[in-house]
Chain A
């Protein structure tokens, strides 16, 4: 399948007002992707619908980030994160993603909803890439769930250093390009 495509160093950059939207069922299988999603990722609707969302997962992303994401979603919280995704042709694109649970009128979980916006690439170079690289190193060094725990711990110690919670830090990086004092 297309998933086996080797990553390339070519970067696709989002437009200023682009919104990449996708939805999944509660199990994480794609139920909807908007046209921007398809245009940027290079996948067709048929290729996407019913697939697990990791179809666009890039190997440069630390597993710990998704661990945190699923933990937040399961607690009914929203999640923010800078995510590097892979296109069908192996190129990559950075997004600032927001994932939230989708509830029906009775408040029952119907799936998840994700909106991705254009991040500042400078901010990513300055803060996110070094952080993710160090987390990836930890994950590569160890094996199994323990390594992800250590990677999560690494992220948490980074947060402790700057003294704010994860979501607040991510929004500040997205909006101001720097960490709040």
Chain B
């Protein structure tokens, strides 16, 4: 409108200017006519009255025209401001201006409708932006397109409301899911730490109990030595007892022999007495014989006294042998008791050593189970990290965590440290584990590489990501299977199944 003003008004004076010049011209014409007719026909009453009436009518006409121009100006202003977006201006006080008044009211009505329309739209959307869907634009009183427009806005706001509910539900679900996964990893890590702790403590229990078993074995060895020593003592004591018994028997025999010697000595003495009696009877002839008889008598007496003193000694000896014998009998019972005690002790120790050894094996079994669970758990954490990394926009901690390959993760380190060593050398399961484990890592890496492509738009990329993760999952299942298998093998080796 500003443009059209410029174009159409170029070179043409405004109505206001035209009015001023027109009025001046009219007054000049009236004045000229008045002067001419007064000069021609002389001044008379009718001339003056006619001139006055014409001038008054002209003046009223000018005033009315100026009001009209004034209203036109206000109409123009209102329109100009409305074009700029200020819809609240109106044109009033147009009474008595006929067609111009009609135009002004028509403009007012239009502006009422347009302003109402925009206020409704504005308020409704402002409320929507604040999450309030209960303030639809009111369409009553707005005709045609404007009413229709508000009605369809009402519909779209209610659709937005539904959508909002859906969006909220979705964002809730996805937030919950996110929370769940991040918590899952946290929980898994906690469990992992728990397992590591349990593993360490049961390992030390295991070490303790195998140390116990060794100790018990050593103690058992020393018990054996004690037993041998006691056996030896028993043996010696027995020998001593036997010797003493033999001695005692000998001394009894000696005593008996001494008795015989004493009897012989008595009989010899008697014989010598008889011989000396006979010698005395024989006189001189028997003198020599009497000497011999005396000698024999003396000899028998000495023999008897010798035998008697030997007997005394022997009696003392025999008493002592009896004492020794009773003492050695006593010590024999003591050593017997000792031997029994040591035997019982040994039996108990044997039991202890055996149970220590069993518990050492059992603890090793538990350690195996725990360690294998730990390895499995680490594997699960790896996968979870993979999923989180796939969902992340920025390459965060999880992304870094899944960059390791199959030789660097816990499972991998354990695997390649024990490569073909000890129990693993013959294990079928151990050999079978390597390939699927490698595939888990390569598949996750493949999926992550695909995420860098435009998966939002390209369905084939999305499908490829899912396929890679599926391959990782199936490989991971195999890994789990072979680890379980290894556990079983080890349990059999330990005799624990």
Contacts and interface: CB of A to CB of B under 8 A. Distances in A.
Given A105-B84, A168-B134, A17 B143 contact: yes
B138 A117 contact: yes
A168 B132 CA distance: 10
Interface stretch (B39-47, B113-121, B437-445): B113-121
B contact residues, range: 20 to 34
A172 B108 CA distance: 30
B116 A21 contact: yes
A102 B134 contact: no
A172 B143 CA distance: 22
A23 B141 contact: no
Contact of A19 (B93, B116, B134): B116
B141 A115 contact: yes
Contacts of B93: 45-46, 49
Interface string A166-181: 0110011011000000
B109 A118 contact: no
A32 interface: yes
Contacts of A110: 88
B290 to A, nearest CB: 165
Interface string B120-136: 00010000000010111
A34 B93 CA distance: 11
A52 B343 CA distance: 122
B140 A118 contact: yes
A104 interface: yes
Interface string B137-153: 01011110000000000
B92 to A, nearest CB: 6
B112 A34 contact: yes
A11 interface: no
B140 A49 contact: no
Contacts of B138: 98, 117, 171, 174-175
A104 B115 CA distance: 13
Given A21-B112, A34-B108, A49-B92, A117 B141 contact: yes
Interface string A7-46: 0000000001111010100000001101100000000011
A125 B105 CA distance: 35
Contact of B95 (A17, A34, A45, A104): A45
B85 interface: yes
Quick one: which of B105, B108, B141 has the most chain A CB within 10 A? Answer: B141
Contact of A18 (B92, B108, B115, B141): B141
Contacts of B92: 31-32, 45, 49
Nearest to A169: B134
Given A19-B141, A100-B119, A117-B141, A32 B135 contact: no
Contacts of B84: 105
B90 interface: yes
Contacts of A174: 138
Contacts of A102: 88
Contacts of A31: 90, 92
Interface string A82-109: 0000000000000000101010110000
Interface string A154-173: 00000000000001100110
A60 interface: no
B86 interface: yes
A113 B119 contact: yes
Contact of A111 (B88, B132, B141): B88
Interface in B55-105: 84-86, 88, 90, 92-93, 95, 105
A149 interface: no
A118 B141 CA distance: 9
B105 A35 contact: yes
Contacts of B109: 34-35
A172 B132 CA distance: 14
Given A35-B105, A167-B135, A113 B88 contact: yes
B123 A78 contact: yes
A78 B86 CA distance: 18
B426 to A, nearest CB: 75
Nearest to B147: A17
Interface in B135-176: 135-136, 138, 140-143
Contacts of B140: 16-17, 19, 117-118
B227 to A, nearest CB: 94
Contacts of A45: 92-93, 95
Interface string B241-281: 00000000000000000000000000000000000000000
B42 to A, nearest CB: 50
Contacts of B116: 19, 21, 115
A174 B137 CA distance: 12
21 contacts: A17-B140, A17-B143, A19-B112, A19-B140, A23-B90, A32-B90, A35-B109, A46-B95, A49-B92, A104-B86, A104-B88, A110-B88, A115-B112, A115-B119, A115-B141, A117-B138, A118-B140, A168-B132, A171-B134, A171-B136, A175-B136
Given A18-B141, A23-B90, 13 more contacts: A17-B140, A21-B116, A23-B88, A32-B90, A32-B92, A34-B109, A34-B112, A35-B108, A46-B93, A78-B123, A115-B116, A171-B134, A171-B135
Complex A-B, nearest 6 residue pairs according to Cβ-Cβ distance, in ascending order: A19-B141, A102-B88, A21-B112, A32-B90, A117-B140, A168-B134
